[in-house]
A and B are shown apart, each in its own frame.
Chain A
Amino acid sequence: MTGQSKTAIGKTNSARRRRKELAPSWLALGMNVPTLICFVLILAYPIFFAGYLSFHEVGVRELRSGDYAFSGLANYIELFGDPVFWKSLRNTILFVVVSVLLEVVIGLAIALVINENRIQLSRVTKFLILVPWAVPPIVNGFLWAFIFNTQFGYLNRLLYQLGLIDQQVIWLGNSSTAFMAIVIAYVWRTVPFNILLYHAALQGIPDHLYEAAELDRATRWEKFRYITLPLLRPILAVTLILRTTFAFMVFDEIFAITQGGPGNDTWVAAWYTYKTSFNPPFDIGVGAASAYVLALIVGVVAIAYVRYVYKKVEY
């Protein structure tokens, strides 16, 4: 080289044993061992085991003895014969439709508001969008339970102060208002997620599209209708499917606000499984059957998501 001592790296290298490189597939396997164990033990195996349980008699006695008698379709027959199950399923679907629609509409509205960065106040709003997400779901439930409480709740206090009511409204004792209360509580907590996505998508729309539309004399509404909305379509598809699968699993708010009440008017699928399995008479077999029905419904949505949406949306 440049006349200096010849301790090139090559010397140390040739002293070092020359190794064949670990094949990528082995490296990948090695790096994935913990994750694969985790997936198998905590995801795959339980899913199959839940199926197994749903065909067996599993109650308190069986849990103690550890052997579950095969019961064929008995659990499913019991499940499908239970009017409360059908009611829970109907409630779940109604809940999913109403709350997902609200999430999308409110999320999009707030995303559009914070996207206008020339208004100073938008920055404050933007800073606060994650606030509801930071509230633990169970706290969120209690917080709304307190708001909707008949005697001491803040909704009645506020409406009274505004002069809209003169006696206390029993919000949670009436099935339709109780249902509405759960929807509101749930939607409040999940809207931030939608805002985030729509905001990111709006930021991704290049300004020059709006400038071009401006030159074409488009009004504000026309710009929204012909530029913003079509370009948001992929993300709307993503959120619709994603939020649908999550809304199917609503549990914490039901637990805290109504416990399924009044009567069983606000039972949903996850609550049905929980109540059947972990409350007297502890019928885990039927619980597993109902969980499986829920999983199948969500599974169809999930597979559709991966096949048609996940791969196509680039971010």
Chain B
Amino acid sequence: MANVSVENLKKNYGLHEVIHGIDIDIGDREFVALVGPSGCGKSTLLRMIAGLEDVSGGTVSIDEEVINDIAPRDRDIAMVFQSYALYPHMTVAQNMGFALKLAKVPADEIDARVRQAAATLNLTDYLERFPRELSGGQRQRVAMGRAIVRRPKVFLFDEPLSNLDAKLRVRMRTEIKSLHQRLGATSIYVTHDQIEAMTMADRIVVMRGGNIEQIGAPLELYDAPVNEFVATFIGSPAINLLEGVIDGADFRLPDGSTLPLPAAKPGDNGRAAKYGIRPEHFAIVETGAMTMMKIDVVEPTGNETILSGTIGGQEVQITQQQRLSLAPGQEIGVSLRLDAVHLFDAQSGQRL
């Protein structure tokens, strides 16, 4: 196993720079997810670690050894691709044993290791089949198996679950996580799905436009986003952001109504800001309401109810753990959990 570190890493295509000098340190046995909207550079970063893209500046190292110029085949890295990239002309067993064969591992050992990996992944019955004879989920497992038989220093995953249907995706999520817990291999996982990142990773790297916005444990990002982008990217339904101005101990919305602030910072008085609060941090109250919400749409999901509406003319969504019989157009009083309120600067989006 190994630790991976990336220092001041840059990538440009011609004059166009797509990754602007980023640093990440990934510890041994750690599971790190790279998330961000498409085009944020997460896949490029992963491919640079794999050696499939040239490094334009900075370094990639494994176990303190700089590997910038080492061929992908000598990096001892396994990768699971979004399309699985199974070799169509090889059986499942041949697919899984290909890397070992190239490394000139004796045939009986290849066989033993392939069988062991197949047993781990419930693929034993399919070893002699060709990829085209397998279902999507099985193909995904073969791709995983191909990676684990190699016992590489690092596992890379490039959106491995996005070609599966929703149900299977949830199951494979759990399986990958338990596999990681058993094997304990250093893993880097690229996804655009923040739920996958939240549920699987030890740490999450949120990227945007070739920069890192924040690195941290999943709940750290959820509870203390450093800026508006991270706050909206993590969590579903998304965090509510209300525009207004800090006015002493209150947050004044454009229509004149106010929301209470957790702790006023004197220097921030009069600053234009965004008032962020997650949907579950609202409570519907009969008395002592901090503000009024006008209901537009009520969406019961079974375990919770999502209410969409407006506060001070601005759109908000709140979730409630109980079943509610509310009608559109109704006004309800709500209170907010003040310790869960985040304030972001209106211009820079940075947390205040």
Contacts and interface: CB of A to CB of B under 8 A. Distances in A.
Nearest to A4: B116
Interface in B60-103: 69-72, 74, 76, 99-100, 103
Contacts of B70: 18-21
Contact of A20 (B69, B100, B183): B69
Given A7-B109, A12-B105, 10 more contacts: A1-B185, A8-B150, A8-B152, A9-B103, A10-B153, A13-B103, A18-B74, A19-B70, A21-B69, A21-B72
B151 interface: yes
A9 B76 contact: yes
Given A2-B116, A2-B182, A9-B150, A21 B103 contact: no
B182 A21 contact: no
Contacts, number: 47
A307 interface: no
A95 to B, nearest CB: 48
A19 B150 contact: no
Contacts of A220: none
A64 interface: no
Given A9-B103, A16-B74, A21 B51 contact: yes
Interface residues of A, number: 15
B74 A8 contact: no
Interface of B: 51, 69-72, 74, 76, 99-100, 103-105, 109, 116, 120, 150-153, 182-183, 185
B345 to A, nearest CB: 45
B99 A9 contact: yes
Nearest to A9: B150
A1 B74 contact: no
Contacts of A12: 103-105
Interface string A13-30: 110101111000000000
A23 to B, nearest CB: 9
Interface of A: 1-2, 4, 7-10, 12-14, 16, 18-21
Nearest to B104: A12
Contacts of B74: 13, 16, 18-19
Contacts of B103: 9, 12-13
B72 A10 contact: no
A3 to B, nearest CB: 10
B152 to A, nearest CB: 7
Contacts of B150: 8-9
Contacts of B100: 9
Given A2-B182, A4-B116, A9 B71 contact: no
B52 to A, nearest CB: 10
Contacts of B120: 2
Given A9-B105, A10-B76, A12-B103, A21 B71 contact: yes
A20 B75 CA distance: 10
15 contacts: A1-B183, A2-B120, A2-B182, A2-B183, A8-B151, A8-B152, A9-B152, A10-B151, A12-B103, A13-B74, A16-B74, A18-B74, A19-B70, A21-B51, A21-B70
B151 A1 contact: yes
A10 B62 CA distance: 12
A33 B183 CA distance: 47
Contacts of B71: 18-21
B239 to A, nearest CB: 41
A21 B103 CA distance: 17
Contacts of A2: 116, 120, 182-183
A7 B112 CA distance: 12
A20 B71 CA distance: 5
Contacts of A14: 76
A6 to B, nearest CB: 8
Contacts of A9: 76, 99-100, 103, 105, 150-152
Contacts of B51: 21
A21 B69 CA distance: 7
A8 B2 CA distance: 13
Name the 9 nearest CB pairs between A and B, nearest first: A21-B71, A8-B151, A20-B69, A18-B74, A9-B150, A10-B76, A13-B76, A18-B70, A12-B103
Most buried by B among A9, A14, A19: A9
